[in-house]
Amino acid sequence: MERRFGRRGFLRGAALVGAAGAAGAFPSAAEARHAAPTPERVTFDVPGLDPAHHGLRVAQLSDLHVGPRTPAEVVRAAIEEANAFQPDLVVLTGDYLSHSRRELDPMHELLGGLAAPTLAVLGNHDVWVDPEGAAEALRGHGYEVLENAWTTVRLRGAPFSVVGVGDHLTRHDDVEQAVKGLTGPTPLVLAHGPRTAEKLQHLGHPTLCLSGHTHGGQINIPIFTPLFLSAIVREPFLRGRYALDGGVQLYVNRGVGMSGIRVRVNAPPEVTLATLRRAEPA
- In percent, how much of the chain has pLDDT > 70? 87
Cα end-to-end distance, the chain, whole Å: 41
Q: How many domains does the chain have?
A: 1
**Which residues make Cβ contacts (< 8 Å) with residue 70, sequence separation at least 6?**
33, 64, 98, 256, 257, 258, 259
CA atoms of 58 and 254, how far apart (whole Å): 16
pLDDT digits (tens, 9 = 90+) for 250-272: 999 999 999 888 889 999 999 99
pLDDT digits (tens, 9 = 90+) for 148-191: 999 999 999 999 999 999 999 999 999 999 999 998 888 899 99
Band of residue 128 on the pLDDT scale cut at 50, 70, 90: very high
- Whole-prediction pTM value? 0.88
CA nearest 99: which of 132, 125, 63, 127?
Answer: 125
Q: What domain range includes position 174?
A: 2-279
Question: What's the CATH code of the domain at 104?
Answer: 3.60.21.10
State the average pLDDT for the chain. Answer: 88
